[in-house]
Structure 1
Amino acid sequence: MLGEAGYAGFTIEQVARRAGAGKPTIYRWWSGKPALLIEIYARQPLDLSGTNTGSLQGDLVAALGRLLAFWRDTPAGEAFTALLVEAQHDPAALDMLRAFVAERSFSLADLFNRAARRGELAPDFALAAGLDLVSGYVWARLLTRRLEDDADSLASAARLMARGCLHR
């Protein structure tokens, strides 16, 4: 439904109608639209294995490419975009988004943890800041629908992100 009608057309009423169920049935399973969007996203398998290239910059290039392809090629991109939009005006959705992102950021955290084990990271590196840096970049690409496979752009972004994190 998100792919067909977009965020504006994705309502609990439409979900119930499409499922051949009543709204109370939908609400029995999900507390509302944000919870349903998280479920849609969580059911899509994001595989960041094989992104260990031996350097933070290389790992970032590999992970960014996979994440953008994941959002481009699965319903996850529409679901996450809708959740980001919903969170802008619904405090409960914002709380759900924050909790979901905190729970799901372990894949990206692994990139930085590997870099730390290799001795690449600056002594004052903060994992939360590194994750925000990556998230900000990919979320901007998602929200502006720039999910194409642009190797040069990804390499440039990864190089800039890595430079800010590396031990000098």
Structure 2
Amino acid sequence: MAASPAGRPRDPEVDARITRAAAEVFGAEGWARFSVDAVARKAGVGKASIYLRWPNKEALLEALFASRLSGVRDIDTGTLREDLVALARQVLHAFLDEAGGSVLRLMLEVESIPSGQEHLDRFLQSQATAARAIVHRGIDRGELRKDTSVTLLLDTISGGALNHALVAPARLRAEVARRADRYAEELVDFVLASVATAE
């Protein structure tokens, strides 16, 4: 078994501050201008603090993806509406929080980013798997018609949430993020009004 490293244990708050700064730098600057120097300045730590944790910027980016782009969790609240609201909220927050720009950068620059395709595929697959499970449970419980198009329903909700996040002007982004949970409810109610089974 490998020996534990000597010295003080790593501070998880510093780790989180560094990966948050990495998300902001990567989202704003892209891979070409992503550097340990820039992340250290953004995080307010010395470069040595980063190099003690990650040997290079590739490893730092890997840590960013692992911690901030973990994917969409499976959701089962017991009702279709609440499941879809939770899904819409996850999508909105994925693009509106401080790591949101990094998700977009990953989508735009995926071919030039180390392990980028792997991380993007994992993120999108987790969303698709969780989302499809939600709709199939809704059909099984009789909350949706059996002929409901799973793809169209999810494209409408996930696509609506994504578009809402993407078109938010920079000056209103904080307000849009603050109202994201309520918007998720409004979006889901609007869509379900046209597809849910009649009581």
TM-score (norm 2): 0.55
Q: How many residues are treated as equivalent by the alignment?
A: 155
Counterpart for residue 142 of structure 1 = 165
The CA RMSD measured in Å over matched residues stands at 3.9
Deviations 1:108-127 (A, max 9, x none): 22211210110122232122
**CA distance 1:104–1:151, change in 2 (3 Å):** closer
Report what 1:159 is aligned to. Answer: 189
Is residue 120 of structure 1 aligned with residue 143 of structure 2? yes
Indicate the percent of aligned positions where both proteins have the same amino acid.
18
* TM superposition shift of 1:12: 3.8
Q: 1:52 aligns with which of 62, 66, 77?
A: 77
* Helix, strand or coil at the partner of 1:162: helix
1:140 CA displacement: 1.0
Q: Is the 8 A contact 1:120 1:166 kept in 2?
A: yes
Cα distance in structure 2, aligned partners of 1:158 and 1:68: 13
Distance 1:74 1:151, change over 3 A: closer
Aligned equivalents of 1:104, 1:42: Cα separation in 2: 16
Matches within 5 A, 1:20-39: none
User: Is this contact kept in 1: 2:73–2:127, CA < 8 A?
Assistant: no
Cα distance in 1 for residues equivalent to 2:98 and 2:27: 15
Question: 1:164: how far off?
Answer: 3.2
The Cα shift of 1:6 comes to 5.5
For structure 2, list consecutive stretches of 5 or more residues without a partner in the other structure.
Answer: 1-20, 40-49, 112-116, 169-175
Partner of 2:45: none
Paired amino acid for 2:92: L
Greater mean deviation of Cα atoms: 98-107 or 125-134:
98-107
Structure 1, unmatched stretches of 5+, are 30-35
The TM-score normalised by the length of structure 1 is: 0.63
Structure 1 equivalent of residue 133 of structure 2: 110
